[in-house]
Amino acid sequence: MITIALPKGALLTDSINLFKNIGLDFSAFLDKSNRQLQISDPTNTAKALLVRAQDVPVYIEYGQAQLGIVGYDVLKEKQPSVANLADLKFGYCRMSVAVPKASPYRSSVELPPHGRVASKSVNCARDYFRSIDLPVEIVPLYGSVELGPITGMSEAIVDLVSTGRTLKENGLIEIDVLYESTARLIAHPLSYRLNTDNLSDWIAKLRVALLTSCD
């Protein structure tokens, strides 16, 4: 029996629908009265774990799950040792640099050297500013990153943007995009190579389902 790590939050519904298309039903996770974090599908051929998105690759790396779905942003930030198998084409967002609308800066390279940039994605933010040769202090925040520039603690933020509504409501604007992110299908590398529990069959079914949904 394979184990699948599913992400809480924005990707969950689409992830469940994808697996439902190949005969695995984990929709019990969508029931708000359900508090289970591990369930089996009704056919008892697979089980799923409901975990924080950032923890999905951890469960894959340690072999507690053979398959998982996670945003590319998490893979980019954590650089886990997992097999990145497919772009699932849902959960689109982008990692962006944003500043207050009243700020004079309209490009990342215009930000002041040694200024402060708040971000949850510390590694990605650091790598980006190194790539443009701009020394900045990355301030780690794991709540509402938008408060960094609002309170004057930072000149800018690096954060995921989907619709842009949160930025707009807090008086911020995007000035640069680091990369775009979508949901990815990942697997435990050794299980993938050894085809543990006929993993390749499930992956093939998911690829077909993905192609069908894109038609």
Contact 149, 119 (CB under 8 A): no
Mean pLDDT calculated for residue range 198-212: 93
Evaluate if residue 201 carries a pLDDT over 70. yes
| Domains delineated in the chain | 2-91+182-214 (3.40.190.10), 93-180 (3.40.190.10)
In contact, 91 and 182? CB cutoff 8 Å = yes
Cα–Cα dist 75/57, whole Å = 8
Cα 18 → chain centroid: 17
What CA dihedral angle connects 86, 90, 95 and 100, to 10 degrees?
180
Q: What is the pLDDT of residues 10-31, one digit of tens each?
A: 999 999 999 999 999 999 999 9
pTM comes to: 0.93
pLDDT digits (tens, 9 = 90+) for 107-144: 999 999 999 999 999 999 999 999 999 999 999 999 99
